[in-house]
Structure 1
Amino acid sequence: MKDSLIVVSGGMDSITLLYEYADRIALGVSFDYGANHNAREIPFAHLHCERLGIRHIVIPLAFMKEYFKSSLLSGGEAIPEGHYADENMKSTVVPFRNGIMLSIACGIAESNGLKRVLIANHGGDHAIYPDCRSSFIEAMNQAMREGTYEHIEILAPYTHITKSDIARRGKRLQVNYAETWSCYKGGEKHCGKCGTCVERKEALHDAQIDDPTEYED
């Protein structure tokens, strides 16, 4: 039964979730909020939705780039290099990004007669991103249920697993990770040095997947 909407960026996590729950997903929604990498990610979201016969739409959120402070919205040169565990990665936080996206996705879901909103936050995000943690998801889920006639719910099955676990699921699903984007700098190739690139390399290595990514280094 196609009862769900997915927030799909075009990255490894959301594309894996897209394939894992394809039989339940009626609509894929991407958000263009002016991030350095949106132009690289979103075409992959459209590609995979089209391949699976899932309608895909892009919602523009240009106001976020204008009014929000984040290195993710300030050009590729502003993105710090290193691991997500490093303190400097906090500069990549876009304040309340998932809250804004989930709110919009909730309204779109109810407008289209859908019951659930899928999001691919995962355990590796918890240290840096407050709106990826289980406590946030639970609170947002409650707000969405209470704020809609149809009691729209969040389905976030990756909340307590790692990106490596997600890559292992993708391997079983035969997801082609060459057709995904991770790098926060948004250049012609993955930089290989920012937090998302480092995490991508580790996840593919741990899942014993030959890394198909073109890196600058």
Structure 2
Amino acid sequence: MKTIVICSGGLDSVSLAHKVAAEHELVGLLSFDYGQRHRKELDFAAACAARLGVPHQTIDIREIGRHLSGSALTDDVDVPDGHYAEETMKVTVVPNRNAIMLAIAFGVAAAGKADAVATAVHGGDHFVYPDCRPGFIDAFQTMQAHALEGYADVMLHAPYVNVSKAEIVADGARNGTPFAETWSCYKGGERHCGRCGTCVERREAFHLAGVEDPTEYDDPDFWAAATSAFSAEEVK
């Protein structure tokens, strides 16, 4: 199955790229520059493509991103600290981001005669992002079947949509993913901050998976307190 992977350069999508390379025919990685503050992640996507020996394209949609205002990922809004699944993390939503990226990716796949587009959305995303949930994935596939009817038959491959981040770490380890060569932190500093939602989720995932975390964090211990605080709120 000739597959294009949407790769941000993060742990999930790089793990997915390695998974697809091992199980299918990886024909390229596709990234998007939407004006994200942590755009250094794109360098990690490029490095992943080079490592796997496939083409890498970065599509510039910054003009679109400029109109999707109000998110801490694109605007001058503080990225909150804490557990990824907390209500405060909704400030990191970029409206319709996945739908826009997937629509472009499906066009690229159809034009290039690929069989599938793979995306690394996962179960942990369901709390915050409506365009990462199984209902969206199923509906998008149905929509694309109509949009490309008679021209191309492209499948949406989302193998992580119902699994946890810890399971992605375990899967990535099985496929030889070099986790140190991935970027998650939304703050985009020199090192992972260790405090934002994606850093907390990343650190927690390695812990739960029983896999050594090679990431350098400015605050490597914050995740434990953030996770405990979130769990305590969930019990109430």
The residue number in structure 2 matching 1:113 is 113
**Cα distance in 2, alignment partners of residues 157 and 211 from structure 1:** 23
* SS of the residue 2:194 aligns to: coil
TM-score, normalised by the number of residues in structure 2: 0.88
List gaps (5 residues or longer) in structure 1: none
Tell me the distance in 2 between the aligned counterparts of 1:162 and 1:210: 17
Structure-1 separation of matches of 2:15 and 2:74: 25
* 1:209 to partner: Cα distance: 1.9
User: Equivalent residue for 2:196?
Assistant: 194
Of 16-25 and 187-196, more deviation after overlay is shown by 16-25
Cα displacement (A) at 1:151: 2.4
Residue in structure 2 matched with residue 17 of structure 1 by the alignment:
16
The structure with more radius of gyration: 2
Structure 2 equivalent of residue 158 of structure 1: 160
Please show how residues 29-68 of structure 1 align to structure 2 within 5 Å.
29-38=30-39, 40-68=40-68
Structure 1, residues 96-138: CA drift from partner, whole Å, max 9, x if none? 0000000000000011011211000000000100000000011
Task: Return structure 1 stretches of 4+ with deviation > 2 angstroms.
Answer: none
TM-superposed CA distance for 1:84, in Å, is 1.6
> 1:8-59 CA distances to partner (integer Å, 9 max, x unpaired)?
1110111111011114211110001011112x21111111111111111100
Residues 178 and 212, structure 1, Cα contact 8 Å, conserved in 2: yes
Separation in structure 2 between the aligned mates of residue 179 and residue 33 of structure 1, nearest angstrom: 21
RMSD of equivalent CA atoms: 1.1
Do residues 8 (structure 1) and 7 (structure 2) align?
yes
**How many corresponding residue pairs?**
214
Report the secondary structure of 2:30's partner residue: strand
Residue identity matched to 2:4: L
Structure-2 separation of matches of 1:207 and 1:174: 15
Seq. identity, %? 46
Check conservation: 1:10, 1:43, Cα contact below 8 A: yes
Q: Are 1:126 and 2:126 counterparts?
A: yes
Shift of 1:189: 1.0
Query: Do 1:171 and 1:207's aligned partners in 2 also have CA atoms closer than 8 Å?
Result: no
How far apart are the structure 2 equivalents of 1:37 and 1:95? 17
Deviation (angstroms), 1:152: 1.6
**Distance between the aligned counterparts of 2:193 and 2:182, measured in 1?**
14
Q: CA deviation at 1:172?
A: 1.2
Residue 65 of structure 1: how far off its partner (Å): 3.5
From 200, 205, 218, the counterpart of 1:216: 218
- Deviation, 1:64, is 3.4
Instruction: Please tell me whether the aligned partners of residues 116 and 155 of structure 1 are also in contact (alpha carbons under 8 angstroms).
Output: yes
Give, in whole Å, the separation in 1 of the partners of 2:114 and 2:186: 31
Which amino acid is 1:46 matched to? A
Q: Is there any run of 5+ residues in structure 2 with no aligned partner, and where?
A: 220-236
In the alignment, the residues of structure 1 paired with residue 16 and residue 94 of structure 2 have an alpha-carbon distance, to the nearest angstrom, of 22
Shift of the alpha carbon at 1:4? 1.2
Assess if the C-alpha contact under 8 Å between 2:18 and 2:176 holds in 1: no
